[in-house]
Amino acid sequence: DGGITQSPKYLFRKEGQNVTLSCEQNLNHDAMYWYRQDPGQGLRLIYYSQIVNDFQKGDIAEGYSVSREKKESFPLTVTSAQKNPTAFYLCASSIGRGIYGYTFGSGTRLTVV
Amino acid sequence: GNSVTQMEGPVTLSEEAFLTINCTYTATGYPSLFWYVQYPGEGLQLLLKATKADDKGSNKGFEATYRKETTSFHLEKGSVQVSDSAVYFCALRRTGNQFYFGTGTSLTVIP
């Protein structure tokens, strides 16, 4: 079955370390997205990519970086510059510009210890 | 600007009760509107959508009608079940990639 796979489901990071969250899709979708979810704040867009080797900053890109070397993959790196990284991170993808909606992965919960 | 406002939660209902979750939006032009559902520890799943005024989206007994005159897209279900317990997100999509999500409304259905 086609879908989006995020790994790991739970991730613990020490302060000052970078960590990379994986997102892979086999839906042949063009666009991919990273959202951060905090309690009571809904979803906030971190980065998105419409095509390979191109990506755009979202509303809260500071302290994060991404790459899009393959259509199927859109990893997110949470750097030590991100002041409050503990959150639930959701990856999504869409056909074209998302007119039919997004398909979401099951998320990665990152905790800084 | 573009934004979505959902009713505050949490909402607690008894099984078989009627559900309404209010959603209003602010947007220029003619956005598409969506409802997503998130079960505990999972990502969001598309529940239903409507792309133009007066469209009704429906799925799994849930319905929502795109009302341009009141800029609303309220989610309704006639008889909720325990399995409907989840967080529900209203969202709009303007031209281009970006979606705007509401803050979510938590629903708990008790037997």
Is there a contact between B89 and A4 if contact means CB atoms under 8 Å apart?
Answer: no
pLDDT tens digits for B60-106?
A: 999 999 999 999 999 999 999 999 999 999 999 977 667 899 999 99
- Residue in chain A closest to B89 (alpha carbons) equals A42
Calpha distance A52→A31 (Å, rounded): 9
How many CA atoms within 13 Å lie on the side-chain side of A66? 30
Calpha distance A27→A71 (Å, rounded): 10
Is there a contact between B97 and A97 if contact means CB atoms under 8 Å apart?
Answer: yes
Q: How far is CA B79 from the centre of its chain?
A: 16
Q: Mutate one of A4, A34, A43, A89 to test the B interface: name it (highest B CB count within 10 A).
A: A43
Question: Chain B: nearest CA to A69, how far in angstroms?
Answer: 20
CB A43 within 8 A of CB A36: yes
Residue A55, pLDDT score: 96
* Other residues' Cβ atoms within 10 Å of the Cβ of residue A104: 23
Q: Which of A69, A73, A58 is nearest to A27 (CA)?
A: A73
What tokens were used for B83?
């399995």
pLDDT tens digits for A8-36?
A: 999 999 988 999 999 999 999 999 999 99
Q: Mutate one of A25, A90, A102 to test the B interface: name it (highest B CB count within 10 A).
A: A102
Residue A41, pLDDT score: 78
Q: Which of A60-69, A76-85, A93-102, B91-100 has the lowest mean pLDDT?
A: B91-100
Q: Which of A27, A31, A34 is nearest to A4 (CA)?
A: A27
Return mean pLDDT, chain A.
93
Q: Which of B64, B81, B62 is nearest to B72 (CA)?
A: B64
